[in-house]
Chain A
């Protein structure tokens, strides 16, 4: 685990100091990315941080995008063993790849769909000891695929996210989501996307550089931390086992 190089991102999020109690407790973190600059690395990084061996934090991962093996492989390279974390009840993986909400139902039946998913998350957290509740992170990868699973009903997804927000108030846990900006870019008014920006306490945007593609710098991150009233911007390079974050002009090549 390369402590130094991820520090800029950790600093911007308050993760460079103690991680228990979890600094992101009670917060909604929204990661936005584009095709040119995938923000998945931020998700993986936050997952790795939350499962740090120095803590007893718990992560509930709602996967619409990839199967367990994919994340297991990536997190292994980052130095985190998801299989053993799962066995130790620190990592809960909800495989939603096959979820297809019943047509026209939009959540009327609690058996299927997003209502049931909410119920499952609530049950998982309630089953943990109360002392752990604020150290729980709910991670969703990703919202656009959740929308697809919900037959395109962004309202239904927003309702679900509203209920997830109530979990952050009730249990003081954190909610981390990933969404793709360019999917909504040709809409006149990308309501669903903008809603997330309003809901988020911390907004992390992964964008290409203004100057285009480069080998040494993969893109830039802008972290807007509403709670601290602070905005940070820095460049990043995604490597095999680590992500390097540095201020513009300070790439080590």
Chain B
């Protein structure tokens, strides 16, 4: 399923159409969007290097991580980043997003470090994150610097949309993303979003702008409020290593395809596996005690076959509801079958039975009548 995402981003945009856009969305309960985002970046970049994608370059707009985080990430995946500065550029909105360092240097209270001034050949510092139009221009400029003008396309990765939304109103951010999608040199674009930092309508705006929405959810929902008890802690532990990954694809023909997988978080990275059946997950959490809390298959079938005394069986025959009024004398001669149609007991040999003996004949049948009715007052 993750492969479908990579393929969509690799294939890129058709002439005259909007570029595919992916939102990777998570929440504090399963905060793995960054891992998924990093995973997608590595994959896309490998395809770019191998010449297997429409896009010929990648611009990473990084607010939340330093440029070296991404360069190290790609290096660890085996990419020779040093020689690939023609294929990747990072717009560094992390180091000095609001120009504070410039201001401080101006008032002479501040000495920029010599290694700070050393701008990596892969990263350009951007200092005006509150201005979405300047950000747009810088992204396009950086991309064009990578692939040249003309018809060659590049991809954009934004880490993260939350920071953009913090600095600018949602309308400006939406306009930026929309303009990027419409630009004829953009092949694909994807961004990270922490859904619990925003109102639902803001998240909805970004989802509307996306052709693919990938959401991460916890494997197990925690009980609201109190996280104190041991059971909740084991769920927290479980949720810290695993999660559910739901992807919604909006296809060109208007159809929507929804897929789900399980995502595992490991030291080395993330893995996707198909979702196990619900029962398997629940069984893993049943406490191990000495008595059997589960039903075997036979027990399950037998339970399903029990005919309850008060239910209408619905096969047209009149129901004889046994109310337990047969006297003890009669019961000696007749088989004490209760609350079941005679036909049915013959057919379902394996069915359960409910056998009811009334304590005594004095026992009044259940009725709506007021038992005090016969009193003469």
A163 located at the interface, meaning its Cβ lies under 8 Å from any Cβ of chain B in the complex: yes
Chain B residues with Cβ under 8 A from A233's Cβ?
233
Contacting pair A118 B100 (CB below 8 A): yes
Contacting pair A166 B96 (CB below 8 A): yes
Contacting pair A170 B103 (CB below 8 A): no
Residues of A within 8 A of B (CB): 107, 110-111, 115-116, 118-120, 122-123, 126, 155, 158-159, 162-163, 165-166, 169-170, 189, 191, 194-195, 197-198, 205, 207-211, 220, 222, 224, 228-229, 231, 233, 248
Chain B residues with Cβ under 8 A from A111's Cβ?
107
Contacting pair A119 B233 (CB below 8 A): no
Q: List 17 A-B contacts (CB under 8 A).
A: A110-B104, A110-B109, A120-B109, A123-B109, A158-B166, A166-B66, A166-B95, A169-B68, A169-B94, A189-B198, A195-B197, A198-B31, A198-B197, A209-B228, A220-B228, A233-B233, A248-B230
Contacting pair B226 A210 (CB below 8 A): yes
CB-contact partner of A107 in B96, B100, B228, under 8 A: B100
Contacting pair B196 A189 (CB below 8 A): yes
Contacting pair B197 A169 (CB below 8 A): no
B113 located at the interface, meaning its Cβ lies under 8 Å from any Cβ of chain A in the complex: yes
Which residue of B has the minimal Cβ distance to A185? B225
Contacting pair B230 A122 (CB below 8 A): no
Chain B residues with Cβ under 8 A from A155's Cβ?
166
CB-contact partner of B227 in A116, A165, A207, under 8 A: A207
Contacting pair A116 B240 (CB below 8 A): no
Contacting pair B229 A210 (CB below 8 A): yes
CB-contact partner of B228 in A123, A208, A231, under 8 A: A208
Contacting pair B166 A231 (CB below 8 A): no
Q: State the Cβ distance, B211 to closest chain A Cβ, in Å.
A: 26
Chain B residues with Cβ under 8 A from A158's Cβ?
166
Residues of B within 8 A of A (CB): 28, 31, 66, 68, 94-98, 100, 103-104, 106-107, 109-111, 113, 116, 166, 194, 196-199, 226-230, 232-233, 236-237, 240-241, 265-267
CA distance A228 to B268 in the complex (A): 11
Q: State the Cβ distance, A54 to closest chain B Cβ, in Å.
A: 29
Chain B residues with Cβ under 8 A from A116's Cβ?
109
Which residue of B has the minimal Cβ distance to A154? B166
Chain B residues with Cβ under 8 A from A189's Cβ?
196-199
Contacting pair A231 B236 (CB below 8 A): yes
Contacting pair A210 B96 (CB below 8 A): no
Which residue of B has the minimal Cβ distance to A162? B97
Contacting pair A229 B267 (CB below 8 A): yes
Which residue of A has the minimal Cβ distance to B229? A210
Which residue of B has the minimal Cβ distance to A108? B103
Q: State the Cβ distance, B117 to closest chain A Cβ, in Å.
A: 12
Chain A residues with Cβ under 8 A from B116's Cβ?
170
CB-contact partner of A159 in B66, B98, B227, B232, under 8 A: B98
CA distance A110 to B99 in the complex (A): 11
CA distance A155 to B31 in the complex (A): 21
Chain A residues with Cβ under 8 A from B107's Cβ?
110-111
Chain B residues with Cβ under 8 A from A123's Cβ?
109-111
Which residue of B has the minimal Cβ distance to A205? B227
CA distance A8 to B266 in the complex (A): 23
Contacting pair A191 B109 (CB below 8 A): no
CB-contact partner of B103 in A110, A208, A211, under 8 A: A110
